[in-house]
Structure 1
């Protein structure tokens, strides 16, 4: 089951990363799909797909380097590094996907700009004035 779930996520994202095929991605999402970001930000399937379509212009040519894809039960976790062409900004991303009945039912996404990694290593320390 975990191998099959990893395959679902990898196939869903391959078309999007390689060709920008948002409609192909949509086929892998359940009708009641929910996308979560930190805090209380959530989007429905239609809202998230619209956001992905809107982002395709600004992120055209984005490079994606997948470091890890791990699966446990109905969850798949992917750690990747992404950057824009011509020395554009770089981000580290952790996506968590929940699979239900062969479709992606839920996703969580954490994004950290690589330029801010050093500052985020000491987030608990009081600000220096």
Structure 2
């Protein structure tokens, strides 16, 4: 099941990036799909697909380099680096997907601009140091 879940996620995201076809992604999402953001907001399947569709035009030409894809049971984690033409060094993205009955049921996404990574490594340090 782990290998199958990994394959489903890779196929879904590869097709989306390669073709820009959001409609090809829709059947791979469960009807009760929920997407979570770090700011504690969540979106339904329809809301998330609409957001992805709206982002495709400004993100045309984006290069996605998959660094790691890890699977454990019903969860698949993908770490990628994404760059827009002329935009270096780009962003690092970690997507976590939960699958249920062969469909993507839930997703979480963390995005960090690579240029800001060093500054984010010190967030826990005391102001007194």
Q: Same fold (TM over 0.5)?
A: yes
Partner of 1:13: 13
User: TM-score with structure 1 length normalisation?
Assistant: 0.95
Partner of 1:60: 60
CA distance in 2, matches of 1:114, 1:10: 23
Gaps of 5+ in 2: none
Structure 1: 4+ residue segments shifted above 6 A: none
Partner of 1:31: 31
Partner of 1:82: 82
Most deviating of 43-52 and 79-88: 79-88
Aligned Cα RMSD in Å?
A: 1.3
Cα-to-partner distance string for 1:107-126 (whole Å, 9 max, x where unaligned): 00000011100100101224
Gaps of 5+ in 1: none
CA distance in 1, matches of 2:125, 2:119: 10
CA distance in 2, matches of 1:78, 1:107: 11
Instruction: Give the Å deviation of 1:86.
Output: 2.0
Partner of 1:42: 42
Cα-to-partner distance string for 1:28-87 (whole Å, 9 max, x where unaligned): 000000000113210000000000000011110000000000000000000000010123
Give 3-state SS (helix, strand or coil) of 1:27's partner.
helix
Give 3-state SS (helix, strand or coil) of 2:111's partner.
strand
CA distance in 2, matches of 1:40, 1:98: 17
